[in-house]
Structure 1
């Protein structure tokens, strides 16, 4: 989360200082898990989105962890776009990941704990094979792996 706020602050500073955004009323607001982009038109909004995504990539924040909403009209012809930061794994995705892991190796233990999936096994080789398979498969969200014991 700190890297996300750093990326948003860097994008905000760049938008404030760039010549092509002067007078466009473009701004980025962030409050908790919601990021909102405001601008005078869709062209500036897409440019702001590009700046923000560039900063997120540089700060190593996965773009899959952000769910963008549709462009919404605002007051006086302005437009805005909201994004929700995705943290953790919902129950449906956890079930999908559990089934995927069980198809690879039936000997591993898979448990869902709050917003994470925990995989344990006696064999490190089977855990490494599962990690490799999970990295290759696209679940539509950013996966992180910790505690390789």
Structure 2
């Protein structure tokens, strides 16, 4: 029976490259001269330090631009609330989403079943497996999922006949 997997993966090496490029650009930009703005990755988290909220917002825009240049969807980053650090400075943690969480997986399974296609969707850890008798049904599921307003980027792998 034909099947495929729905996953959500982010290439951390490309994220590192984007962060390195962003740091180099911040050193060159006039508006960051003399500022103590830093960005670093620790595991699946990115820690952003900025002098104030304006610099933090500029760093968000830079980060999204550099991720887009590396073909990484900016939706894979989940920003937490900004915290006040010493003085005017601000610290923010952003989590890089890896895998599909249980709530999103249940929602996707419900949406797929609501389409009345002859496919079965099952949750397997942090990914979904969709199986069906016809290849065309599976392709319809992929097209349908691409149209859904989901803020997390999804990839479709292991398409087997």
TM > 0.5? yes
Residue 81 of structure 1: how far off its partner (Å): 1.5
Residue 76 of structure 1: how far off its partner (Å): 2.3
Output the TM-score relative to the length of structure 1.
0.94
User: Relative contact order, CA 8 A, sep 6+: which one is greater?
Assistant: 2
Runs of 4+ in 1 over 4 A off after TM superposition: none
Q: Normalized per residue, which structure has more strand?
A: 2
Residue in 1 that maps onto 2:98? 87
Query: Structure 2 unaligned runs (5+)?
Result: 1-11
* CA RMSD between the two structures: 1.2
Q: Normalized per residue, which structure has more helix?
A: 1
What are the equivalent positions in structure 2 for 1:40-119 lying under 5 Å apart? 40-119=51-130
Residue in 2 that maps onto 1:137? 148
Whole-angstrom CA distance in 2 between matches of 1:76 and 1:29: 21
Which of residues 128, 137, 142 in structure 1 aligns to 2:139?
128
Kindly provide the CA deviation profile for residues 64-100 of structure 1, in whole angstroms up to 9, marking residues without a partner as x.
1110012211112211221001110111111111111
Query: Structure 1 unaligned runs (5+)?
Result: none
Equivalent pair of 1:105/1:126 in contact (CA under 8 Å): no
